[in-house]
Structure 1
Amino acid sequence: MLGLDASTGISRTNLWACMGLGLLGTAVITFLPAAQPYLLTDALGLSGDELGRTTGYLQVAAEVALILSLVWYGALADRVGRRPVAVAGLLLCAVGAALYPFAGNVAVLVVLRVVFALGIAALNVTMSAITADYVRDHARGKAYGWLGLFSGIGAVIAVLVLVRLPNMLENGGMAPATAAKVGFLVVAGLVLLGALALRGTLAPGLAAPVEQRVGLTRLVGEGVRLARDPGVALSYAASFVARADLALVASFLSLWIVDYAKAVRGMSATEALAKSGAIVGIAYMVIVVGAPLFGWLGDRMRRQDVVILAQALAAAAYLSTLLVSDPLGPGMMLVAAAVGLGEVGVITTAGPLLAQQVPARFRGASFGVQTLCGAIGIFVVSGVGGWLYDLWRPAAPFALAGACGLLVALFGLVVRNRVTPSPDAASTTDQPAGR
């Protein structure tokens, strides 16, 4: 399927289900944050400072929930199996999305955002672990490339179709509050149907035998201790930069373009958003197309070398934003394309490296720690970058991400010849790791 060499016991249906999980999971992960402004303004009637504070509360609550739960989800996936955790993640997302527009106050909204974030955490861990389980090591780069492609398609579907559902319903005659409720319920229903379908098409796998089960605390500890391996440490560091890069494209690139268009060019908010969407769309288009490219490279180069290459490309792309004086000019189009290529590189290369470095029985725990590093990266780079955006210049968050990427690339050059794949990392679905 798609040129992938499946692990023992994995069928073509299982592989398609893995890619379907990437598409559906990314679609729902993208949907709620993108649709949230419509809900807060048109359905709940928030405005001004109240809108900003509420958005901040929701984002902080979501990130805290992610950070506190990621490593435990990874350990749980090693103990009871990947499929139950993945399906549970989809169900939590469905519950959060279904109830979100019915929240009567900000406190309830924060609780529901936490529920949704717990679902996101489960999906982030299991999408990576399942991909590593289902494909033999020599094809894992390609597998992560295809996963990136399907995830990108899911994000596009969320932005172009799902997010617009409430507005389409409102244009059809519904009141804003009713349109929001119906739109969110439709999305929740689709996620629920997808969860049921994946429950029957993902490989059932095996839970660890009772006599071999390791406590969750020990599994989490193993995920942290594995960082003593140079390859694992490089993968964790690359994930720190990769997730932060994703946050920059989603937030600061749009903010920079909109601010400039309104303040310097005198455009209306609608015109500014249209310009922003066109330029950010270039980055996302390159992300979708570039994912298979880096997957292909990941199977033809040493995994640590392709991680270093991706980090260097991403660093160069982000630092090039310092040369942009007019974010609406043609130069920004090239920078956006370079940023998209660098971003997809760092996202798709860290996973295969980690998969080859850790024993299969600890794969879930290690992916949980890797995703945790990414969540911390978002906190650090977005927080410091936002501060520098105001005090220095709009390109500052990208320059910070570029500097971090250079440090990771340099660290990779130092340890590249000390990275030795683990002999226990082979994916065999007839053993506990392949569940």
Structure 2
Amino acid sequence: MKIMTDGVRIGPITLNNGITKRNALTFFYASFFTVGIISFMSFMQPYVLTENLNIPADEQGASTSILAFTYELVMLLLIAPFGALADKIGRRPIYCLGFLWVGVSLVIFPLAETMTQLVMGRMFFAVGAAAVTSMMATVLADYPQERSRGFMVAMSGIANGLGAVTLVIGMSQLPALFKSMGYSTLMSGRFTYAIAACLCVVTTIIVFRGLSTLKPSDGKKDKEDIRQLLKEGLQEARKNPRIAVACIEAFIARGDLMVVSVFFSLWANQAGLAQGMDLETAIKTAGSFLIIIQLTSLVWAPIWGIILDRVDRLTAVVIAMFLATIGYLWVGFSPSPIVAAFIPAAIMLGIGEFSAILAGITLVGQEAPKEIRGSVVGLFNFCGSFGILCISLVGGYVYDAWRPGAPFIVVGMINAIILVIALTVRLKVGYRPPVK
């Protein structure tokens, strides 16, 4: 591959040396599909709980909590090692293997007939999800030059949102379509998952052909043990309070995403069923309100990208935590997620969710040393998985015991706490420009 001296440009984004436009476009597609397929899996989960297992609505919060906990337990164990392994063998092979693994798991998951089988299927899916999400974050940190990092993150966020919207819109229509063709509700769901699995195979081919084969390491790390690479990432977080704040922020930012993708889908689906809709119609209605959240993120993305490249990125984390606190508390105290009065809360939620997710990864991308970036980003993702692990345990319990919006209230309160921590550190360490 020809090595560039100044870096090629793709629109307003200047890429690092050795990264081509094809590499960047492939990454944007991979970002599109990574979040899209994970959103699809979470969105369709209530369908399986209702149709395959016949779990009553007042028990689905606890079941969702179990599935989320075991899923994130696997993510917690694997996502940091995947990040460290990427520093040794490169990003592309792990990304490709992850998509193939996800495809196989999508065939297995809807075949479950017991809760135990469903949990095992979700854990199997988590292995592939850990691979693709860790590589998405690592490649995002690799490709842009520092002056373009915020805009690159924003464009990746747009790809994420488009992926979630596209797959939720498209795939939520399929069960009703198959049902109209004469298939049972159970088989309609299984056919929908099978189509998603085929898309994973196509994506694997695209990623294999399009991502860069280069590693950012200069080769000095190749013989180090993976545990040593992870240790270096932790040491860097201890030395740099900005990285430490990014990791703390990841704890709740990934939790934010889980609450929206898992508990919102469950809440909206149950609200539709409570209004007398059949399962296929309830899924479509839930999808329409989830799309409002995601479309808001897309509109907000370029605005947030400009902000990220013009303010201290730790200040951006403070702003993001403030917006997320408002959004999650507003949604949590809303009476229903599928009425017109909910739309303003959904818009604020979309802004807060997007801001929180991108602020942390932009900060850690700026602060992480190039030679151990995979390890630092792996640690960042590890913290995110640990956050989801904790929130999934609490969220399922308060969902059944208190109110469907309770997981959002819990997340909103945690956002407020991290807002105070980030602001305190920002005042202590002082200003740092967004471009080194």
TM-score range, shorter chain: 0.7 to 0.9
CA distance 1:33–1:360, change in 2 (3 Å)? same
CA distance 1:368–1:168, change in 2 (3 Å)? same
> Structure 1 residue 197: deviation in Å?
1.5
Q: Which residue of 2 aligns with 1:156?
A: 165
Q: Which runs of 5+ in 2 are unaligned?
A: 1-9
Over residues 280-310 of structure 1, what are the superposed CA-to-partner deviations in whole Å (9 max), with x where a residue is unaligned? Answer: 4322221122122212211111111111111
Q: SS state of the match for residue 46, structure 1?
A: coil
2:37 and 2:339 mapped to 1: Cα distance?
33
2:399 and 2:187 mapped to 1: Cα distance?
38
Residue 57 of structure 2 corresponds to residue 47 of structure 1: no
Deviates more, 1:56-65 or 1:82-91: 56-65
Q: Which residue of 1 aligns with 2:21?
A: 12
Deviates more, 1:294-303 or 1:246-255: 246-255
Over residues 170-208 of structure 1, what are the superposed CA-to-partner deviations in whole Å (9 max), with x where a residue is unaligned? Answer: 422345555444443332222112111211110111376
Q: Which residue of 2 aligns with 1:429?
A: none
Q: Which residue of 1 aligns with 2:80?
A: 71
Q: Which residue of 1 aligns with 2:4?
A: none
Contact 1:78 1:208 in 2 (8 A): no
Q: 2:276 aligns with which of 262, 268, 277?
A: 268
Contact 2:168 2:291 in 1 (8 A): no
> Structure 1 residue 219: deviation in Å?
1.1
Q: 1:194 aligns with which of 200, 203, 224?
A: 203
2:179 and 2:218 mapped to 1: Cα distance?
50
- Letter matched to residue 37 of structure 2: V
1:106 and 1:276 mapped to 2: Cα distance?
23
1:181 and 1:268 mapped to 2: Cα distance?
24
CA distance 1:38–1:275, change in 2 (3 Å)? closer
CA distance 1:41–1:255, change in 2 (3 Å)? closer
> Structure 1 residue 268: deviation in Å?
1.8
CA distance 1:344–1:47, change in 2 (3 Å)? same
- Letter matched to residue 235 of structure 1: A
CA distance 1:357–1:278, change in 2 (3 Å)? same
> Structure 1 residue 328: deviation in Å?
6.2
Map 1:152-231 onto structure 2 (within 5 A): 152-175=161-184, 178-206=187-215, 209=219, 212-228=222-238, 229-231=240-242
Q: 2:383 aligns with which of 368, 373, 376?
A: 373
RMSD value, Cα = 3.1
Q: SS state of the match for residue 268, structure 1?
A: coil
Q: 1:363 aligns with which of 373, 378, 399?
A: 373
Contact 2:249 2:418 in 1 (8 A): yes
Over residues 25-50 of structure 1, what are the superposed CA-to-partner deviations in whole Å (9 max), with x where a residue is unaligned? Answer: 122212223334444555xx421359
Q: Which residue of 2 aligns with 1:134?
A: 143
CA distance 1:108–1:240, change in 2 (3 Å)? same
> Structure 1 residue 140: deviation in Å?
0.8
Q: Which residue of 2 aligns with 1:95?
A: 104
Q: Which residue of 2 aligns with 1:249?
A: 260
2:241 and 2:354 mapped to 1: Cα distance?
23
Deviates more, 1:114-123 or 1:313-322: 313-322
Q: What TM-score does the superposition give when structure 2 sets the normalisation length?
A: 0.85
CA distance 1:26–1:321, change in 2 (3 Å)? closer
Q: Which runs of 5+ in 1 are unaligned?
A: 427-435
Q: Which residue of 1 aligns with 2:292?
A: 282
CA distance 1:259–1:39, change in 2 (3 Å)? closer
> Structure 1 residue 130: deviation in Å?
0.4
Q: What TM-score does the superposition give when structure 1 sets the normalisation length?
A: 0.85
Deviates more, 1:347-356 or 1:57-66: 57-66
Q: Which residue of 2 aligns with 1:431?
A: none
Contact 1:240 1:376 in 2 (8 A): yes
Q: Which residue of 1 aligns with 2:31?
A: 22
2:361 and 2:20 mapped to 1: Cα distance?
22
CA distance 1:164–1:303, change in 2 (3 Å)? same
Count of matched residue pairs = 419
- Letter matched to residue 314 of structure 2: Q
Over residues 362-387 of structure 1, what are the superposed CA-to-partner deviations in whole Å (9 max), with x where a residue is unaligned? Answer: 11112122122222222323432443
1:165 and 1:273 mapped to 2: Cα distance?
10
Q: Which residue of 2 aligns with 1:433?
A: none
- Letter matched to residue 82 of structure 1: R
Contact 2:268 2:338 in 1 (8 A): yes
Q: Which residue of 2 aligns with 1:342?
A: 352
Q: Which residue of 1 aligns with 2:245?
A: 234
Q: SS state of the match for residue 334, structure 1?
A: helix
Deviates more, 1:235-244 or 1:252-261: 252-261
2:270 and 2:201 mapped to 1: Cα distance?
38
1:280 and 1:398 mapped to 2: Cα distance?
15
CA distance 1:40–1:412, change in 2 (3 Å)? closer
Contact 1:86 1:122 in 2 (8 A): yes
Q: SS state of the match for residue 48, structure 1?
A: coil
> Structure 1 residue 56: deviation in Å?
5.3
CA distance 1:102–1:251, change in 2 (3 Å)? closer
Map 1:304-319 onto structure 2 (within 5 A): 304-319=314-329
Amino-acid identity (%): 29
Contact 2:233 2:375 in 1 (8 A): yes
CA distance 1:420–1:80, change in 2 (3 Å)? farther
- Letter matched to residue 164 of structure 2: A
Contact 2:42 2:262 in 1 (8 A): no
> Structure 1 residue 327: deviation in Å?
5.8
> Structure 1 residue 213: deviation in Å?
2.8
Q: Which residue of 2 aligns with 1:409?
A: 419
1:101 and 1:260 mapped to 2: Cα distance?
23
1:169 and 1:326 mapped to 2: Cα distance?
29
> Structure 1 residue 13: deviation in Å?
0.6
